[in-house]
Structure 1
Amino acid sequence: MRKIILSAAAFTMLFSCQNDENTPVAPSTEAIALRNCATQEVLEAQLKADPTLALRMNQIEAFTQKAMLTKRLVNGKIVIPVVVNVLYRTAEENISATQIQSQIDVLNKDFTAKNSDFSSIPAEFAGVAANIDITFELAGIVRKSTTKTSWGTRDAMKSSKKGGIDPTTPTKTLNIWACKIGGGILGYAQFPGGSLATDGVVIDSKYFGLSASNSYPYNLGRTATHEVGHWMNLRHIWGDSSCGNDLVSDTPVAKTANYGVPAYPYVSTCLPTHNEMTMNYMDYTDDRGMYMFTNGQKSRITALFVSGGARSGFGI
């Protein structure tokens, strides 16, 4: 089932109707039973705080659509330098260099289709399964001790003035903050177009990289794969609304977020009848249940890195 790709004007309408929860999630100590990514909620709050953000995102979307239409290609290999900013109160939150490197390794496998479960993709979707062909290199680790029990989703961890760590050269470096988020949130990311002062990805330290067994079922590093997907301009696969539009033509329409590890085929209630792509990294399934991007998602990502693209300063 193919979706209609929206014009920039229609894209603006998505911002105001995706979610009724426009306030960033408050911290809590609740156990995480189902995947919860706060990216959309954070975006809604940012749009309210900065009316010019929608304009910038519209411009990026128009550029993306044109780049895909004209099949503009990246001139060179995309390699993303990564700085990991670790904020810790406990020894467990002060994750090791080995665990950090394990996350870089997971990203490299997932974004180059070298993940071992790539072979599990159903034949129905194999034709659109993509090697994004982007790699990541650890450029540094910054550590800071804190007394905060949780950071929430208001980007305080990204500001030294608020007790966090300022981002390192965000026009050329992917900053990832590892900290205790709270509120049942595994992670969140900032879409292209937002402030450079807050650009990057936040991952709860418990779910960073190949983590402990008590992090199951989010112990395989796929939270970062999902959030980096957002940082690279990918929406949730259900478009953050019932049978919504994720702006990608080769991802089947999804009714809503899927959880756990749905058995294939998972028949959608969105008509006409079709199977949902529950194993896509931009769904909400368990780490072991997500293992593919699509060619359409690759096209959206690649458009960021061509000359004039929103992330053209990276890796070329």
Structure 2
Amino acid sequence: MKKILLSAVALLMLFSCQNDTTEITPSADAIAKRGCASQEVLAAQMKADPSLALRMNEIEAFTQKSMLTGRLVNGKIEIPVVVNVLYRTTAENISLAQIQSQIDVLNKDFNAANSDFNQVPSLFAGVKANVEISFVLEAIYRKATTKTSWGTNDAMKIASQGGIAPTTPTTRMNLWACTIGGGILGYAQFPGGSSSTDGVVIDSKYLGNTGTAVYPFNLGRTATHEVGHWMNLRHIWGDATCGSDLVSDTPTHNAANSGVPAYPHYSTCSGNPVEMTMNYMDYTDDRGMYMFSNGQKSRMAAVFVSGGSRASFRL
């Protein structure tokens, strides 16, 4: 298991070098590998707003301090969710049932109530986590569009560009369901970004576990992965060869995994650890991911503590 020993200088380097990272982008015709644009969007936001790196460094320092001192949230954290549906076709105008199925998946995955949680290998049984955060669907807004795809430049969040502006994003998690394109299943804004673009975007073909949801990303885990980013989790491979995800109890991965790797799957990084391929923050198929770790739980909880970047969501 890796240890986190990041100085303020190292943190600055971590966030100021994000433009050098790349995402695995699957084919737009037949998506066989998970595509998440969160890191790509972060790089663009940091280029447009250099002060974002400083804010994220401050958030990271606060997170590490909160984790070390135990200053984490006690009590209930319930996230109100506003879903914004942008549709061109009837299929894209996803049903209430499909939207609610996604909320149900989030509640199961973040509360260790998912039926595949018991598949976590014994090697990781001691660190598998019940994050204890719940979600409630508060509102759905729908808007017809002529766009065939929205891309990752946040246009779906801007009314003047045909999108839907977020609803009270400091106390609501906004989720946009639309056709993203480019082989991207979804992306999220990390803590520290502008409230006018805060939230999670999921391609409507990969939202929930019913209706138009398309295999092998038809179990609602795209949103689980992206909400993890929204709560300050990094990809488990650290978006670099043998990189750090800033969590101490996840093994070092040499790169993203896809499909459903056979267990045990060994890393090529130092020590050749068994990779936690079933972690929600990898790139495996929906049926291949079914756990967060205790370290990830602590990292997520830190954003909700008093003074944290998402403390306004506390009940």
Distance (Å, rounded) in 1 between the aligned partners of 2:17 and 2:74:
37
Cα deviation, residue 285, structure 1: 0.1
Counterpart for residue 176 of structure 1: 175
Counterpart for residue 139 of structure 1: 138
The answer on 1:8 being equivalent to 2:37 is no
Distance (Å, rounded) in 1 between the aligned partners of 2:300 and 2:5:
15
Distance (Å, rounded) in 1 between the aligned partners of 2:239 and 2:101:
30
Structure 1 residues 218 and 25: alpha-carbon distance in aligned structure 2, compared to 1, 3 A threshold: closer
Counterpart for residue 69 of structure 1: 68
Q: Is the 8 A contact 1:9 1:58 kept in 2?
A: no
Q: Deviations over 1:243-268 (max 9, x none)?
A: 00000000000000000000111011
Structure 1 residues 133 and 5: alpha-carbon distance in aligned structure 2, compared to 1, 3 A threshold: farther
Distance (Å, rounded) in 2 between the aligned partners of 1:83 and 1:96:
14
Please list, as runs of the form range in 1=range in 2, the aligned pairs for 1:1-316 lying within 5 A after superposition: 1-18=1-18, 20=20, 29-212=28-211, 215-316=214-315
Q: Is the 8 A contact 2:94 2:211 kept in 1?
A: no
The one-letter amino acid paired with 1:202 is V
Distance (Å, rounded) in 2 between the aligned partners of 1:215 and 1:90:
16
Look up the SS of the partner of 1:153 in the other structure.
coil
Cα deviation, residue 12, structure 1: 1.9
Distance (Å, rounded) in 2 between the aligned partners of 1:137 and 1:11:
34
The one-letter amino acid paired with 2:156 is M
The one-letter amino acid paired with 2:58 is Q
The one-letter amino acid paired with 2:6 is L
Cα deviation, residue 166, structure 1: 0.3
Q: Mark the runs of 5 or more structure 1 residues left unpaired by the alignment.
A: none
Q: Is the 8 A contact 2:151 2:180 kept in 1?
A: yes
Q: Is the 8 A contact 1:19 1:240 kept in 2?
A: no
Q: Deviations over 1:273-302 (max 9, x none)?
A: 210000000000000000000010011100
The one-letter amino acid paired with 1:294 is S
Distance (Å, rounded) in 2 between the aligned partners of 1:25 and 1:163:
28
Structure 1 residues 237 and 55: alpha-carbon distance in aligned structure 2, compared to 1, 3 A threshold: same
The one-letter amino acid paired with 1:3 is K
Q: Is the 8 A contact 1:24 1:154 kept in 2?
A: no
Look up the SS of the partner of 1:164 in the other structure.
coil
Q: Is the 8 A contact 2:72 2:298 kept in 1?
A: no
Distance (Å, rounded) in 2 between the aligned partners of 1:48 and 1:142:
31
The one-letter amino acid paired with 1:257 is A
Look up the SS of the partner of 2:216 in the other structure.
coil
Q: Deviations over 1:102-143 (max 9, x none)?
A: 000000000000000000000000000000000000010000
The one-letter amino acid paired with 1:83 is V
Distance (Å, rounded) in 1 between the aligned partners of 2:233 and 2:5:
13
- Report the count of equivalent residues: 314
The one-letter amino acid paired with 2:227 is V
Q: Mark the runs of 5 or more structure 2 residues left unpaired by the alignment.
A: none
Aligned-residue identity in percent:
73
Cα deviation, residue 213, structure 1: 7.3
Cα deviation, residue 74, structure 1: 1.1
Cα deviation, residue 24, structure 1: 10
Distance (Å, rounded) in 1 between the aligned partners of 2:44 and 2:224:
23
Q: Is the 8 A contact 1:87 1:93 kept in 2?
A: yes
Q: Is the 8 A contact 1:108 1:135 kept in 2?
A: yes
Distance (Å, rounded) in 1 between the aligned partners of 2:36 and 2:12:
22
Q: Is the 8 A contact 1:111 1:134 kept in 2?
A: yes
Give every structure 1 segment of 4 or more consecutive aligned residues whose post-TM-superposition deviation is greater than 3 Å: 16-20, 22-26, 211-214
Distance (Å, rounded) in 2 between the aligned partners of 1:123 and 1:236:
22
TM-score, scaled to structure 1: 0.96
Look up the SS of the partner of 1:215 in the other structure.
coil
Q: Indicate the RMSD between aligned Cα atoms, in angstroms.
A: 1.8
Distance (Å, rounded) in 2 between the aligned partners of 1:241 and 1:3:
17
